[in-house]
Homo-oligomer: A and B are copies of this chain.
Amino acid sequence: MTPFDLDPRLARDSDLVAHLDLCQLRLSRDARWPWLILIPERNAVSETFDLPPDEQATLSDEANRVAAALKRVTGATKINIGALGNIVRQLHVHVVARTEGDVNWPGPIWGFGTAQAWDKAERDDFLHRLTESLT
C-alpha cells in the first residue's frame, strides 16, 4: 500500500493530534478559534464523494464525533464544519468552535485576517481536554 502523503501546507499549518480509523485529526496552528482538521489518509482524494461509500460514512461519523467533543470542551455557540479545498485540494474537513463575538463572527473563518500562534500552555490544556472528551 502506498504510504499516505500529507499536503505540505496542511503539515505546516497544523499539528497531529490523533489517528482515527480513517482520518488524521490535526489542530490548526491558528489560535484565533479552536480549529480542528480531519484528513482522510487516502491519496488523490479531493471531494468527499470521491471516497467509497463506507469511507464517506466513516468520515461523517468521525467529523460528528470530533464536532460533539469540540462543543463539549469549548462550550461554543456553534460548530462550523466545512470541506472547501479551493486552495489545498487534498480532502480535509474543518471543524471549528465559534463563539458569539469571536474574530469575524458571524462570518466564516476562512481567508480572514492573519493567523495567531497558540500559547503553549493553553494549547496543551485544550488538547488534553479534547482527547479526554473524544475517548
User: In the complex, what residue of chain B is closest to A100 when comparing beta carbons?
Assistant: B86
CB-defined contacts of A107 to chain B, threshold 8 Å = 86, 110-111
CB-defined contacts of A98 to chain B, threshold 8 Å = 84, 86
Closest CB of chain B to A9's CB: distance in Å?
A: 13
Q: Which of A56-64, A114-122, A127-135 contacts the other chain? A: A56-64
Q: Which of A12-20, A35-43, A74-82 contacts the other chain? A: A74-82
CB–CB B56/A64 < 8 A: yes
Chain A residues close to B by CB (< 8 Å): 46-49, 53, 56-57, 59-61, 63-65, 67-68, 71, 77-87, 89, 98, 105-108, 110-111
A-B contact pairs, 17 of them (CB 8 A): A47-B79, A48-B63, A48-B64, A48-B67, A49-B68, A56-B64, A60-B60, A77-B86, A78-B84, A78-B86, A78-B89, A80-B83, A82-B83, A82-B108, A86-B105, A107-B110, A108-B108
